[in-house]
């Protein structure tokens, strides 16, 4: 896997040693795919507007408005733009992180919930004028916010075992369908018992819970593409028998009702 050589703009050096932090602010249209690649630096990828899906060897991270994704250095990842995004990316050299981010491990990928404070901190990095020393303070505070902000609600862990992966792909191809594990197992050439065991071992979720997470992620993705889609219509489109059933499932996955989640986007 080649290391991506995206042009990056270095922040001005400050007395807090932010010479190892860079920023990049591209725009990507809906439908754009950034093929699998990796960077020498770790990165915090935030969309000031729009929605993306980040795929890593662990799974798919849906990143709607109000979320950002942390990607460690030299981790293979791909990005699919689901709704046109104004991307704001902070790149951190590994040397800088060793000196400045010792309070927690940042060696794995995760999605973070972007609080109003974290949003303003990120956007402030891109202001045309930055006072000497202020950039370093902003970055340090942003890292502190990351410690409290991890949110796996929109993560879909992807299995690697071939039969289990084929089953997962079938579910993701039609998340609204009522997938029966016996039928699915026959399609991928195994037994329902084996497939159930594989899902639990590979994703740390039961088959039922994994399908529910895939369904809720599909709802969030639909809202990204169709912002005016009502909650009730999303529930109907995704095959839920009732609106309360959808709200219950949504809360189980995200910890919020659909309305609460939409308000926090």
CB 4 within 8 A of CB 34: no
Q: Is 184 exposed, middle or buried (0-12, 13-18, 19+ CB in 10 A)?
A: buried
Q: Report yes or no on 72 lying in a domain.
A: yes
Q: Please give the pLDDT value at position 58.
A: 92
Residues 205 and 240 in one domain: yes
Residues 140 and 61 in one domain: yes
Beta pairing class for 77-92 and 21-24: antiparallel
Q: Report yes or no on 222 lying in a domain.
A: yes
Residues 175 and 231 in one domain: yes
* Separation of CA 11 from chain center: 25
- Summarised one tens digit per residue, pLDDT across range 48-91 is 888 899 999 999 988 887 889 999 999 999 999 988 888 999 99
- Summarised one tens digit per residue, pLDDT across range 117-128 is 999 999 888 877
Structural domains counted in the chain:
2
- Of 148, 181, 214, which residue sits at a domain end? 148
Q: Report yes or no on 138 lying in a domain.
A: yes
Residues 26 and 127 in one domain: yes
Residues 140 and 232 in one domain: no
Residues 127 and 226 in one domain: no
* Spatial CA neighbour of 249 closest among 221, 222, 211: 211
Q: Report yes or no on 99 lying in a domain.
A: yes
Q: Please give the pLDDT value at position 70.
A: 93
- Summarised one tens digit per residue, pLDDT across range 91-115 is 999 888 888 776 567 888 888 888 8
Q: Please give the pLDDT value at position 241.
A: 83
Q: Report yes or no on 2 lying in a domain.
A: no
pLDDT at 10 over 70: no
Residues 74 and 168 in one domain: no
Q: Report yes or no on 3 lying in a domain.
A: no
Residues 109 and 161 in one domain: no
Which token pair is 133? 């020393």
Residues 26 and 144 in one domain: yes
Q: Report yes or no on 4 lying in a domain.
A: no
* Spatial CA neighbour of 178 closest among 215, 205, 213: 215
Question: Residue 161, SS3?
Answer: coil
Residues 135 and 184 in one domain: no
Max mean pLDDT among 20-29, 68-77, 129-138, 236-245 falls in 68-77
- Of 148, 177, 203, which residue sits at a domain end? 148
Q: Name the band, by pLDDT with cuts 50, 70 and 90, for residue 11.
A: very low
Residues 134 and 163 in one domain: no
pLDDT at 33 over 90: yes
- Summarised one tens digit per residue, pLDDT across range 154-196 is 889 999 999 999 999 999 999 888 899 999 999 999 999 999 9
Residues 174 and 252 in one domain: yes
CATH code, domain with 190: 1.10.10.60
Q: Report yes or no on 39 lying in a domain.
A: yes
Q: Please give the pLDDT value at position 21.
A: 86
E-strand ranges in 1-139 read 9-10, 21-24, 27-28, 33-37, 42-56, 59-63, 67-71, 77-92, 110-113
Domain span at 138:
9-148
Q: Please give the pLDDT value at position 137.
A: 85
Mean per-residue pLDDT over the chain, rounded: 84
Alpha helical stretches, state H, the chain: 94-100, 116-124, 134-148, 162-173, 181-188, 192-203, 207-225, 231-237, 243-254, 258-263
Q: Please give the pLDDT value at position 194.
A: 96
- Summarised one tens digit per residue, pLDDT across range 207-242 is 999 999 999 888 888 887 787 888 888 888 888 888
- Of 148, 178, 203, which residue sits at a domain end? 148
CATH code, domain with 87: 2.60.120.810
């Amino acid at each position: 896997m080649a290391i991506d050589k995206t042009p990056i703009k270095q922040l001005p050096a400050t007395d807090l040693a932010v010479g190892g932090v860079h920023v990049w602010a591209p725009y990507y249209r809906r439908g754009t795919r950034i093929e699998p690649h990796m960077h020498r630096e770790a990165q915090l990828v935030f969309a000031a507007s729009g929605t993306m899906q980040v795929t890593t060897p662990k799974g798919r991270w849906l990143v709607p408005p109000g979320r950002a994704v942390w990607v460690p250095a030299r981790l293979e990842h791909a990005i699919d733009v689901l709704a046109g995004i104004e991307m704001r990316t902070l790149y951190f050299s590994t040397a800088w992180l060793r000196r400045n981010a010792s309070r927690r491990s940042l060696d794995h990928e995760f999605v973070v919930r972007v609080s109003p404070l974290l949003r303003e901190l990120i956007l402030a990095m891109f202001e045309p004028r930055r006072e000497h020393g202020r950039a370093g303070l902003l970055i340090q505070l942003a890292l502190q916010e990351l410690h409290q902000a991890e949110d796996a609600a929109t993560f879909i862990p992807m299995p690697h075992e071939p039969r289990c992966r084929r089953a997962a792909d079938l579910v993701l191809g039609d998340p609204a369908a009522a997938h029966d594990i016996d039928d699915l197992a026959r399609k991928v050439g195994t037994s329902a018992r084996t497939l159930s065991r594989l899902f639990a071992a590979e994703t740390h979720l039961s088959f039922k819970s994994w399908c529910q997470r895939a369904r809720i992620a599909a709802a969030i993705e639909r809202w990204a593409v169709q912002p005016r889609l009502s909650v009730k219509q999303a529930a109907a489109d995704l095959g839920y028998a009732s609106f309360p059933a959808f709200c219950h499932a949504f809360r189980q996955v995200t910890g919020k009702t659909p309305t609460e989640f939409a308000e926090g986007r």
